Amino acid sequence: MLKRLVLLGALVAFTALALIAAAATAEPQEQPTEKAAKRPVPEETRSVTHHTLTLDGERIAYTATAGTLVLNDDDGEPMASVFSVAYTRDGVDDPAERPVTFSFNGGPGAAAVWVHLGAFGPKKVLTDDEGMPRPPPGKLVDNPYSLLDTTDLVFIDPIGTGFSRAAPGVDAQRFYNFDGDIESVGAFIRLWVTRNGRWSSPKFLAGESYGTVRSAGLADHLQERYGMYLNGVLLISPTLNRLYKQFDVGNELPYLIFLPSYAATAWYHGKLPEELAGDLRATLDEVETFALGEYASALLQGNRLAPEKRRDIAARLARYTGLSVDYVERSNLRIMSWRFFKELLRTEGKTVGRIDSRFTGRDLDAVGEFPEFDPSLTGYDIGYATLINDYLRRTLGYESDLVYERLNLEVNGAWSFEGFEARPIDVSETLRGAMTRNPDLRVLMACGYYDLATPYFDSVYTIAHLGLPEELRGNIGIAYYESGHMMYARKADHAKLKRDVAGFIRTACGR
């Protein structure tokens, strides 16, 4: 990014000299009026309300601030209006003693509604103990696993999501890419910290899915651009290197990385042999060893693999995945995720979920290799749109006629990976750089065993190949959950996530 900025600066300087020279010989032109030259300025809006929440028997009074901040460019021209909801604990004498966590979802194109009303906020969407939704329109309840007793919370909707929009006259496409997204969210965080007098507070990021890509980029950007050094980064269902999940011909890594999650899914649905159907963690340890050992060796040999060894590997894969030996052999020992969704329960006429493979769905028929929809994504979405719209307006008193874009598919479709042409996006090196330049920065990866969107073994592999010096390797760790992409949907895992993250924050603050 720095090289591009240097080149851009040189180009701007050269262009400015050319314009000055041209102006010296040009005919005088009528100057635009100030009104015509200036872009309309979006109005900053906010609603402030006061509430209480009881966590572990402690009554907590807090202030909720829902509203927008306007981001300006270096010339003071408005670029965008960014919506957020902030929860700050009342009665705090010294802000330096109170952490603040900035949280967001991914997509790209997703608002922060799921981490807000599912994971960390003072209210949550009610589900059953396993995370299955209630009938529409759903119900909001107090969140017994909110982080508000540990940290203040700011939920950010990136531009194009929630109520956040590009300013009038500004092409929103400038924000729909890796650099533009990080720079705009980083600018919001700097402005929020400045406006609220929180420069001395311990600071954390909590991103989910593509939000983990954003978090890794922000950890580096905030300290390099603003001198804002973070205490910790929580990566929920991370995927820092897309190569690890990109099923391209010649790329063998995804088959190794997805295999343990296939095994976990088969275990959950009762498709493993008796000797593997007991302790899940013991089974996964065996599968991980096979994946990095015999399976990796077999795939790397390609057509040089001996026929008898090929048959042995196919039988082992069938044993671990719940699929037939014939299917594994016909797949050339390489099982793509979307085929697994359709194949595991095909004889029962069911598919398994991608976001959470505990969920099942039914297609029109049981043939074909692609499922019609992701039953877990549909299940997780029920209630959230209704309840965030109701909660913001009736409880938090924020009024807007805009559509609250919880998942903007236009943003997702328009997203540019400029800077990563001809290669998958990879921010693992960005994270390593941020950690080495800030040796007190701690990172926690939260991973669900039944996540077939960002499989947990991706994080294991990423950490092992991060290249951190030995003295910093203890600064990054993984917490595992017996659920999927949104582990907080399941009651037992939500409670565990709260304990894990609260402990992580205390440790990162030196407490």
Predicted local distance difference test score (pLDDT) of residue 161: 97
Residues 210, 93, single domain; the answer is yes
Only one residue has tokens 């874009």, namely 405
Domain stop point among 350, 373, 396:
373
Predicted local distance difference test score (pLDDT) of residue 462: 94
Mean pLDDT of 199-218: 96
Q: Is residue 23 part of a domain?
A: no
Residues 277, 197, single domain; the answer is no
Residues 389, 406, single domain; the answer is yes
Domain stop point among 343, 373, 403:
373
Encode pLDDT of 383-431 as tens digits: 899 999 999 999 999 999 999 999 999 999 999 887 776 677 889 999 9
Only one residue has tokens 């080495």, namely 436
Q: Is residue 30 part of a domain?
A: no
Does 116 have pLDDT greater than 80? yes
Residues 332, 297, single domain; the answer is yes
pLDDT tier at 38, thresholds 50, 70, 90: low
Phi and psi torsions of 153, nearest 5°: -130, 135
Mean pLDDT of 221-245: 94
What whole-number distance in Å separates Cα of residue 392 and Cα of residue 144? 20
Q: Is residue 11 part of a domain?
A: no
Q: Which is higher by pLDDT, 375 or 282?
A: 282
Predicted local distance difference test score (pLDDT) of residue 420: 75
Q: Max alpha carbon distance in the chain (Å)?
A: 88
Residue pair 251/222 in contact (Cβ under 8 Å)? The answer is no
Residues 208, 354, single domain; the answer is no
Does 36 have pLDDT greater than 80? no
Predicted local distance difference test score (pLDDT) of residue 367: 87
H/E stretch holding 2 reads helix 2-25
Assign 110 to helix, strand or coil: strand
Quick one: tokens of 357? 């493979």
Report the helix count and the strand count for the chain, using DSSP H and E: 17, 14
Q: Is residue 315 part of a domain?
A: yes
Give the pTM: 0.88
Closest CA to 113 of 357, 343, 303, 390: 390
Does 317 have pLDDT greater than 60? yes
Residues 388, 455, single domain; the answer is yes
Exposure string over 466-483, b if 16+ CB within 10 A, otherwise e: bebeeebeebbebbbbbb
Encode pLDDT of 235-246 as tens digits: 999 999 888 888
Quick one: tokens of 270? 């009762």
Residues 228, 264, single domain; the answer is no
Residue 229's domain comprises: 46-242+383-508
Only one residue has tokens 């983990």, namely 212
Encode pLDDT of 140-192 as tens digits: 999 999 999 999 999 999 999 999 999 999 999 999 999 999 999 999 999 99
Phi and psi torsions of 410, nearest 5°: -70, -40
Predicted local distance difference test score (pLDDT) of residue 23: 39
Domain stop point among 373, 396, 413:
373
Mean pLDDT of 111-123: 97
Q: Which is higher by pLDDT, 284 or 41?
A: 284
What whole-number distance in Å separates Cα of residue 213 and Cα of residue 85? 22
**For the chain, what is the domain count?**
2
Residues 173, 219, single domain; the answer is yes
Burial (Cβ within 10 Å: 0-12, 13-18, ≥19) of residue 399 = exposed
Residues 192, 330, single domain; the answer is no
Q: Is residue 153 part of a domain?
A: yes
Residues 225, 304, single domain; the answer is no
Does 50 have pLDDT greater than 50? yes
Exposure string over 10-34, b if 16+ CB within 10 A, otherwise e: eeeeeeeeeeeeeeeeeeeeeeeee
Q: Is residue 182 part of a domain?
A: yes
Q: Is residue 22 part of a domain?
A: no
Residues 185, 59, single domain; the answer is yes
Phi and psi torsions of 17, nearest 5°: -65, -40
| 3-state per-residue secondary structure call for 358-414 | CCEECCCCCCCCCCCCCHHHHHHHCCHHHHHHHHHHHHCCCCCCCCCECECHHHHHH
Mean pLDDT of 259-265: 98
Residue pair 71/82 in contact (Cβ under 8 Å)? The answer is yes
Q: Which residues contact 242 (CB under 8 A, 6 or more apart)?
A: 424, 425, 426
What whole-number distance in Å separates Cα of residue 433 and Cα of residue 341? 36
Q: Which residues contact 158 (CB under 8 A, 6 or more apart)?
A: 82, 104, 108, 111, 164, 175, 181, 184, 185, 214
What whole-number distance in Å separates Cα of residue 269 and Cα of residue 275? 15
Chain center to CA of 474 = 23
Does 298 have pLDDT greater than 90? yes
Q: Is residue 41 part of a domain?
A: no
Predicted local distance difference test score (pLDDT) of residue 263: 98
Assign 243 to helix, strand or coil: helix
Of the listed ranges 2-16, 86-100, 364-378, 452-466, the one predicted with least confidence: 2-16
Predicted local distance difference test score (pLDDT) of residue 11: 34
CATH number of the domain where residue 51 is located: 3.40.50.1820
What percentage of the chain reaches a pLDDT higher than 70?
92
Residues 389, 364, single domain; the answer is no
